[in-house]
Structure 1
């Protein structure tokens, strides 16, 4: 395939490609800026297939750096700017980058004590001479372009290797589902160092649409963009969606061209969906993971109302099946798709273990397909609570409790009781004026859940540990200080 940025600059030179708070860039202008940056990276010694770690927030230079590294054919290793030093050290030692390219706008404290080659973007940009180089003329769909670390694959973070082919088929599946057109403009508020954020950059080149780049999750600014600008789509997690709704000024509506919230990373509670319906905000739930290059199924506009709670049908490019079905008719979700990653960095054995004999990827999630082949997610297999002879699906319980006024967030996990049997307990954060007691929460559960699903204890905490895209990190909850209410 012809170099996507170069191709798009030829096809749509004057179309807006990137919208910042105080400036817009056409595809032609973006291409010129990227090629200049790439030439200076080339002068600094970066070559094709070189591993280069990127430590950047959602800033303009970070956006340009991603595309510039692709022009050189380098492999970009995305580092999460919120990671603790110990985790960063492990990832850097694992991927062995030629250098770490650092945005000047990020807090690099955690990197300071790590002995490794580091290059500030400002140092690259300050090079005076323009260096002659030739960008890649073609992208080979089999070439590894980027590596994203995920904590889910092993006890250590594992580098997921994604190719240009992965990006392309991911974009095609999403476009066929959403009916993308040239008038669309996607809001990029998720971190670009995670796949759901990064893939929006690739979609922009493949579709020829504009991207609103928003640094940090500035809730008020995002709402203003959705109200006053011509943004049509925004990718969000359920947590981020709730935050936006809570901050939406009374009586305001999103702009007339706004099409949908593309929702991923976990189930959405019914109360939040109801609020969106009342505000005429379409929500299309989706399903995907780092290893599948983001979304592989999603609701479309025609099915959003009649299949509420579903993540839609598998994309045209994807096969999904359910295996090892239990007594609740819930089973393991397995996937076959050209969007599945080509490997785990330095861990081929683990990668092979994730596949069945007939080539399906074992996602580690559980759910079911209804009679119309719509996918419903019940959670991570590792998060299920086995209470006596029953299975508790934590997100199902959380969904019910989210309807209680005063609860900000709630997360249910399993612990062993005095008899060594697993029971559910709930961690929650509440609004300042909320008056909630264990008795009232227990009573609510008994009226809305089966007895064995009701948490045996309600633990109030100050703040949930979350990933940079807002997902609650369940495996860190048991180490938190709490107060039983």
Structure 2
């Protein structure tokens, strides 16, 4: 393949050329056409160039959902720099670890995270830091106190094989790994999604209320400029605000997880409203959906379309066609066109209706983890990604996800790995052993709880241990409850039996 076949015109620039006056993005603070959006991106890219950011630079972004985040993503694309979005819910120590691990050269932040950015800069003084600001009166995003480099070498093309982002995810061992996200992955993910869900260039509007530091949010930013459609971005999810936007702003597609959808339906009942027919797709991800929720949506004619994906698959890998939403209730659908899928048990592909590990292959699947050849080799063989998730294919090839990784806890759409929490609690000198599992929760779907066996003679209390964990873990990872127990259950080889932990209650 020669080099010209691996390049495409810059996606945002092409939208600005083809539909300059079409509305591209709106938030409660601002609205931009594609022409305005593109111009803002170029201006910010020139400021970033002044900081020394160039092709290949790894740039961390600590910001809330909003136009500064969005413009920054595209400005980095113009420079060929690599985006490293930081999960804003992590602790300072967790964020510092990621910045060191990825070898970031710069940190960009917004006003909402000014104090955290200052703490990071104090700990890592060699890191170049700058503040993103939204000037609503002038309708522009800029870097505070940074002059633009008018001679910055901006890229007019996108190299599909180049790395667009490195997004950190915890593996089943709880050790964070940087997933390499290329432009090729974003492109084929967008193409596969459009071929499945349909593409209505003149009328589609995607509501984005998922965190932009997750692949689900970031991939929508790419679809915005690949499809040339409008997106509406909210800083946080609020069921009443989202429902009002669906009714009043022509939303046609929204991406949510089960907890969000449950709150939307509850608010809909409270306000005695219905969704308009302009809403053609509620893309539901984040783990297996409760069947009662799907049945409730079916009875209301809410167009829920289940999807299955992960960071390593650049968001969607398998999605249910809208035409099959009722016929295949509970299924995540069939693989998107670029994706191959097989179910493997004990290293062998199995037939229909046999459960096993879900494995994926294709141009929208990552080639590996940043400077983690061991993790890459353990997860990807001959191009096949072993997800660790359990599911089966029915006789028509539709995927049913039985469970996320056997020990994974999904709380409000966030993945929580028990091993990570266990490792933190085990650093307390009074803790002999610890096991963590999920407990059903009406608000979050699941919350982590911990079972702790203390060393003899210890007087440590659960409250003291929770306080200890709070200093070292993101809030959503801190166990809701800690139970002091006798020695924990293990199998014959000494491995902790997490599935037996709830019986200790």
TM over 0.5: yes
Partner in structure 2 of residue 277 of structure 1: 298
Picking from 277, 284, 288, the partner of 1:267 is 288
1:23-102, aligned counterparts within 5 Å? 23-102=30-109
Picking from 148, 153, 162, the partner of 1:143 is 162
Partner in structure 2 of residue 187 of structure 1: 207
Partner in structure 2 of residue 10 of structure 1: 17
Partner in structure 2 of residue 299 of structure 1: 320
Per-residue deviation, 1:199? 0.3
On the 8 A contact 2:49/2:149 being kept in 1, the answer is: no
Corresponding residue pairs, total: 414
Structure 2: runs of 5 or more not aligned = 1-7, 134-141, 419-434, 444-465, 470-474, 486-501
Per-residue deviation, 1:145? 1.1
CA distance in 1, matches of 2:154, 2:251: 31
On the 8 A contact 1:228/1:255 being kept in 2, the answer is: no
CA RMSD of aligned residues (A): 3.2
Partner in structure 2 of residue 311 of structure 1: 332
On the 8 A contact 2:44/2:148 being kept in 1, the answer is: no
Describe the shift of the 1:164–1:102 C-alpha distance in structure 2 as closer, same or farther (beyond 3 A).
Answer: same
CA distance in 2, matches of 1:97, 1:480: 40
1:121 aligns with 2:140: no
1:416-455, aligned counterparts within 5 Å? 427-429=439-441
Partner in structure 2 of residue 435 of structure 1: none
Per-residue deviation, 1:476? 4.8
In the superposition, the TM-score normalised over structure 2's length comes to 0.76
Describe the shift of the 1:267–1:481 C-alpha distance in structure 2 as closer, same or farther (beyond 3 A).
Answer: farther
CA distance in 2, matches of 1:36, 1:426: 47
1:312-391, aligned counterparts within 5 Å? 312-324=333-345, 329-356=354-381, 358-383=382-407
Deviation string 1:241-263 (CA, Å, 9 cap, x unpaired) is: 11222222432122331111101
1:201 aligns with 2:221: yes
CA distance in 1, matches of 2:190, 2:309: 13
Per-residue deviation, 1:478? 6.8
CA distance in 1, matches of 2:173, 2:371: 12
Describe the shift of the 1:290–1:21 C-alpha distance in structure 2 as closer, same or farther (beyond 3 A).
Answer: same
Describe the shift of the 1:179–1:86 C-alpha distance in structure 2 as closer, same or farther (beyond 3 A).
Answer: same
On the 8 A contact 1:141/1:163 being kept in 2, the answer is: yes
On the 8 A contact 2:50/2:148 being kept in 1, the answer is: no
In the superposition, the TM-score normalised over structure 1's length comes to 0.79
CA distance in 1, matches of 2:178, 2:378: 15
Structure 1: runs of 5 or more not aligned = 385-393, 399-410, 414-422, 432-461, 466-470
